[in-house]
Structure 1
Amino acid sequence: MHRFLKQQIKQSKLKMKIVHTINELQSELSALTAQGKMVGLVPTMGALHAGHASLVKRCVKENDVTVVSVFVNPTQFNDKNDLIKYPRTLDADCKLLEANGCSFVFAPSVEEMYPQPDTRQFSFAPLDTVMEGAFRPGHFNGVAQIVSKLFYAVKPNRAYFGEKDFQQLAIIREMTKQLNLDIEIVGCPIVREVDGLALSSRNSLLSAEEREIALKISQTLFKSRTFAADHSVSETIRFVEESIAAEQGLRLEYFKIVDGYTLQDLKDWADTNYAVGCITVFCGQVRLIDNIKYKEI
């Protein structure tokens, strides 16, 4: 029997444990790592959906122990109202995680993760000075604070992140290098609804009418990939901007076509072998992000 399949069967038989403190988590994990167990981590802010489940399933497949953190991190919200409105569904999250073979749910309090204010200042320039970094000052510093804390607490062999947060994934890879952490960062593909809408915890905040309107985002990105085949970068950007502007109920914050390695604006398709279009759109009051790959090696 394949080793990963053995791991998945073995892990699914373990009763999932919910822990709330770092000391308890480390006590549980130290006994397992002493036996040579490989540990995978899936950091989340809860309100879990099928996209998160796909990360958990891959983590379960590739590791002996799967830890999923559920923590709404206050330091990465530059809008306090956004923090207040962010959905919190721990009971439902735990049911989803147990069904998908999670070993440990780490659900700490704010006081547990921040017994004192975290004054660390990270710099990931130029990765964090564009797109989300430009529109959400301090956001990625907060992300780096909490993810590094989770890495230190869990000490995973691998950590899993979705490619929907494309810029975040690039920054976490850079942070891992800067902190000299021996952790494999695994990026996982965007999971979409059947109709194409990228799965997001924020989708639950959309009304039924807004949910229909939001489809225009992914539909426009898919069309733009065909459009890009015989148009320039600037023409493709204009196509997306005009398509979103024509849809009542959507407000474009930005659309950028960037080099997937540096996240810097792309001028010509020939300048890179990894071209990614990143978009942020308000649908009503809900801020949604998505991305699409135009070129990938």
Structure 2
Amino acid sequence: MTYSAIVEILVIGNEILIGDIQDTNTSWLCRLINSRGGHVARGTMLRDDVDEIAAEVGRALERGADVIFTSGGLGPTADDLTLSAVAQGLGLPLELHPEALRMVKEQYDKFHASGIMAQGGLNPGREKMAWLPRGSVPLFNPGGTAPGVLLRTGRTAIISLPGVPSELKNIIESSLQEFMNQTFGDGGSLCRALRVRCNDESLLEPILRKVVPRHPRVYIKSLASTVGMTPELDITLTVTGGETGERVRLLDVAFGELCRGLAEQEIGFREMARTV
């Protein structure tokens, strides 16, 4: 069986926790990581508090995360505290990184030249974004000014990304491709789904109770809908990680057993499209 990288996601920002901004980064990261064969073990929302962020980084390390993604808190203002917190959590100093400073300056100069920013160059707030925990590697941000940051500690990689969704995605899809390929390799995810002629999960539970324990590598989930909206509901079966042939075999066995259980109870069903 191929090992699946264990991932934790830390979403940072008071604006998330007071409801001013909706967190879409977690769902996007979860879909991406799952599609690559990784396993998201936990997602946590945190306020802009250095001590709490630092403590949560430490707890994620203790839990054995292979990759920790942080989202938010990389900007030029006083409440952008993520890198200070990561450094504190690892007992590392912050250092002015020349390459990160170059990235910041060049992006501000570019945005100024195109009329987006009123001024180019550097100032104290802009320079702040280039102070990284010792040993970090800056990640070029093609759509923004704050570089992402990759820091390895032991077997764990901590990746700090901006909270702006487009910037987070751009860094992952450009500057982090080599890391993603090395970490997740050819791993992937395979899913099959049934649409069941039944809108009462309690009637399906005896069937699922028999099938689910027999297939620990297959995540089997019934998806409830609002009562009265439809006479049907979906059941998804998903295998993450492993080789392609292994995923197909595990999924087909569990799928067949579930279909037989539904047929025995005279519950109608049809297969939906298979997804990878």
TM-score class, shorter: under 0.3
Between Structure 1 and Structure 2, which shows a larger proportion of strand residues? 2
Structure number with larger C-alpha Rg: 2
Between Structure 1 and Structure 2, which shows a larger proportion of helix residues? 1
TM-score, structure 1 normalization: 0.24
